[in-house]
Structures are given as C-alpha cells and as structure tokens.
C-alpha cells in the first residue's frame, strides 16, 4: 500500500496537471477575421496592434476578410511567421475593425503555445467587439 502512495505522489510531482513547476510554452498569437464577407461600404479589414518591447514600437498587423495571420507578420524582423512570444507573457492586443463603422476593443492574451483571437460578426450597429480566444 505504501508503494501505491509513493507512486501517486511521484506522478503528481512529475506534472500530471498544470500545477506548481508548470512552464508555459512559447507561441505565436494569430488574429482570425471571421467577420463574414466584406461589402463595398465596409471592407472588414481587421487591424491588430500591440507594443513590441524588443522593437520599442507599435507593431500593426492587417488581416483581410476570412484570413488568419500571426502578429508581426508584416514586419521584416519576424518574417511571415510573425513574432514568437515567450511563454507566460501577457500581450495586450488592440483591435480595430472597419465594419459597420469603427469597432474597437482590447484583448489580453496570455501566451501558452499558439493562441488565436477569432473575431466574430458584431450585432448590427452595436459597436461591440465579439471574439473567441483559442
């Protein structure tokens, strides 16, 4: 019986769950424009901005309708793969959407592997930013 107790404690110490000693994974943050088809009046362009401490500047990433792009994909320093964030970093991302007027919002993303901000169609003329964080 004592061996079962020792085995159980050993499994807990080895990280059977995300407890003490867990180290979040590095990852990229993707922005997915799932707002729906653009119209001639509203092109549905998503503009995601975050402050990059390595570059000491705001980094802007534009995401066309229906596409998913990593933050920093427009910067030559990061290439098309975008910025790789250190695990556990909390990244405030400002979102601006050119659809039904200007919709704005802020999403805080804690990096633990790759994460995706999926932007959803807002209720008509609500001015609200709806999203899912995956």
CATH of the domain at 82: 2.60.40
DSSP string, 57-88: EEEEEEE-TT-EEETTTT-TTTGGG---BPTT
In the chain, the number of structural domains is 1
Is 16 contained in some domain?
no
Over residues 55-102, the pLDDT tens digits come to 999 999 999 889 999 999 989 999 889 999 999 999 999 998 875 556
Question: What domain range is 106 assigned to?
Answer: 23-133
- φ and ψ at residue 9, rounded to 5 degrees: -65, -35
Quote the pTM value: 0.79
Is 15 contained in some domain?
no
The answer to whether residue 5 scores a pLDDT higher than 80 is no
Is 12 contained in some domain?
no
Rg (CA), the chain: 19
Is 2 contained in some domain?
no
Is 8 contained in some domain?
no
Is 18 contained in some domain?
no
Mean pLDDT of 30-36: 91
Is 3 contained in some domain?
no
């Amino acid at each position: 019986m004592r061996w079962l107790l020792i085995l159980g404690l050993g499994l807990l110490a080895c990280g059977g769950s995300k407890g003490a000693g867990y180290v979040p994974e590095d990852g990229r943050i993707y922005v997915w424009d799932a707002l729906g088809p653009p119209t001639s009046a509203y092109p549905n362009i998503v503009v995601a901005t975050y402050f990059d401490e390595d570059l000491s500047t705001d980094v802007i990433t534009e995401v066309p309708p229906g596409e998913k792009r990593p933050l920093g994909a427009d910067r030559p320093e990061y290439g098309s793969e975008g910025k790789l964030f250190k695990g556990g970093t909390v990244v405030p991302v400002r979102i601006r959407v050119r659809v039904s007027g200007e919709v704005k919002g802020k999403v805080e993303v804690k990096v633990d592997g790759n994460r995706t901000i999926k932007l959803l169609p807002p209720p008509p003329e609500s001015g609200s930013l709806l999203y899912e964080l995956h």
